[in-house]
Structure 1
């Protein structure tokens, strides 16, 4: 059923729309990895948002208009993501850009966002490099600094002072290490850096560098593929170090990719664990995902569903003839908004919606304990 839904969704995106149909729809643009590395996260972002938009459309749409998200595949390539953003803004005339899958994939979209005043909503990143780009960027999730403070406070309370950071050797990855270094320096502690290349396998050299550093805890700031390779390498070396990952890893994808090797790994989540059904928005998104034929609610499609709900609220407030400028004003004026047990806040002075971070542990069955 899920495959049929996904195929139908892609087919709908591929069909050309008449000028009249275009005018009646509220178009949202997205560039995300649908093939290549990180495709699993990209698809989950798309599908979680589409599940909520589907729910809204079935209830009559937004101010009587249907909402449609045009998702283009960037194959986890920065330049392709930038070209997709230009195409969505200039050719498809989307109202907003939504759910780009990382800071790296967002960076080349920034010139067109700034030039055309397009709201850039809910990129899946906590990197300062995106948070501080321009006033049209609205970030839902906690920053990586928020996550790293939470992680280091947790391990510091248990007496850990030898920390090794696995990170990409690029602007975002090096920034993550610098944040850990700064936090630990304030406590008269030091961090060890182990750099790896983005979109490349984790080699034995990196595993040996980590072992040589003799860490009490490893903080992984890499995606689920590299982090899974790290766990398998440590298991092969019979060295069960404590490992904690940023939300960037894709917690649900890591649990799936690493299997039994992920048991005991802690992860930072910027939304509550998807099994925490006492939170109303989790039940709401769980229902929406189920009705859309998606097999399960996970961290990524939950985050996308919540972000879609907040975006829909802003579009409603912008009125029936919503424009990019009108949506921008509605977002800056949304104030504190309770999405159902998950609160975000935007204002003319703040484009950073939430600082929520919760740690969870992956159990032997792949489920999350909190």
Structure 2
């Protein structure tokens, strides 16, 4: 199935469960700007959701301490969907009807972002900084969706480029049995074809990781030199641990959804040597102004849990704040969209955002890191 057909299938399924949402207020009062978020605070991607939200909230809190945006404080209303797209739809309904937010912010996961598409289209509410690299909400262009980071296809291209430079051609893939995983598989096959290569083998895995043993069996039969993982959360952990029980020395390459400190803890000794692509700057070394600002804010707010995920949330919040500032005091959903599209090139110390009326894509920064023996991400 092509990506476009997969997109249409999922959107139609989500639309069938959609609600008739009345016109709502614009999420702006004399002293507050309301933003809404549905994310995973529990479930298989809880660590990623918690860390990204912590980074975003830290920046919003810091801005509020400075007086807010044009005299208004930013309030981020966060609801837990447990990485369940149906619950995400219910949460967005609540955020629009009850909380009447100005914009959605940092919605986590491909399944959730695809499922809410009919709702945001019906209401006309922006979906800013979705925490997913899926092309299912990038193509075709949607005026309501603004991305901050690169796509999963971009990350996979970086990984394949690295592997081919190393002379590794026997590449296997384990992919999650959902929209995120299936799209990644299709993208990876296309990237490999561009290098005149084919995948050595493929295996799907359930979100819960319950069939990890079956996925391991499928890939061990083809004896890959490296395994690319289009998986997240428990599925990733269970696959790696199960494979390592059967054989040692496999090289794993994971996407940025594995970029949490909690993922390192969950993997333990099995995480050593796992390569993880990163779409946020290295948060532990103040080698750039954006990282220096992140560290200063986290210290000021006494937040000790620094991570790539919270760094990403921090940057996403910073771009949103710049959009709100540029929009001026007379703020509405339409005005926010126009503001973001007209800000021109924004350079966050190497992380360039340049929205326009025909382009809402984010920066293209990607860096490969490896998990060390002492439980850290190393460049």
State if a TM-score over 0.5 links the two structures.
yes
1:349 matched to 2:361? The reply is no
1:130 matched to 2:137? The reply is yes
Instruction: Show CA shifts across 1:158-183 (max 9, x none).
Output: 11111111101233311111111111
Residues 179-258 of structure 1 aligned to structure 2 (within 5 Å): 179-191=187-199, 192-258=201-267
1:26 aligned residue: 33
1:331 aligned residue: 340
Shift of 1:153: 0.5
Residues 138-149 of structure 1 aligned to structure 2 (within 5 Å): 138-149=146-157
Q: Structure 1, unaligned stretches of length 5 or more? A: 1-19
Which whole-Å CA distance do the structure 2 matches of 1:215 and 1:118 have between them? 45
1:42 matched to 2:49? The reply is yes
Q: Structure 2, unaligned stretches of length 5 or more? A: 1-26
Which whole-Å CA distance do the structure 2 matches of 1:93 and 1:59 have between them? 25
Partner-residue secondary structure (3-state), 2:169: coil
1:283 matched to 2:292? The reply is yes
Which is worse superposed, 276-285 or 145-154? 276-285
1:85 aligned residue: 92
2:304 aligned residue: 295
Which whole-Å CA distance do the structure 2 matches of 1:95 and 1:298 have between them? 28
Partner-residue secondary structure (3-state), 1:346: coil
**Contact 1:165–1:177 (CA under 8 A) maintained in structure 2:** yes
1:12 aligned residue: none
4+ residue runs over 4 A deviation: 20-23
Give the aligned CA root-mean-square deviation in angstroms.
Answer: 1.7
- Structure 1's 64 and 340: CA in aligned 2 closer, same or farther, altered over 3 A? farther
Partner-residue secondary structure (3-state), 1:276: coil
Which whole-Å CA distance do the structure 1 matches of 2:258 and 2:210 have between them? 15
**Contact 2:55–2:314 (CA under 8 A) maintained in structure 1:** yes
1:115 matched to 2:122? The reply is yes
Instruction: Show CA shifts across 1:10-58 (max 9, x none).
Output: xxxxxxxxxx995421000000111222111111122111100010000
Q: TM-score, normalised by structure 1?
A: 0.91
Instruction: Show CA shifts across 1:213-258 (max 9, x none).
Output: 2111100111132222222123212322111101123343322211
**Contact 1:263–1:364 (CA under 8 A) maintained in structure 2:** yes
1:305 aligned residue: 314
Which whole-Å CA distance do the structure 1 matches of 2:46 and 2:237 have between them? 15
Which is worse superposed, 237-246 or 61-70? 237-246
**Contact 1:86–1:109 (CA under 8 A) maintained in structure 2:** no
Which whole-Å CA distance do the structure 2 matches of 1:198 and 1:129 have between them? 19
Shift of 1:86: 1.7
**Contact 1:275–1:368 (CA under 8 A) maintained in structure 2:** no
**Contact 2:212–2:235 (CA under 8 A) maintained in structure 1:** no
Shift of 1:83: 1.2
1:103 matched to 2:83? The reply is no
2:17 aligned residue: none
Which whole-Å CA distance do the structure 2 matches of 1:342 and 1:120 have between them? 20
Which is worse superposed, 48-57 or 265-274? 265-274
Q: TM-score, normalised by structure 2?
A: 0.89
Shift of 1:201: 2.8
How many pairs were matched up? 351
**Contact 1:223–1:249 (CA under 8 A) maintained in structure 2:** yes
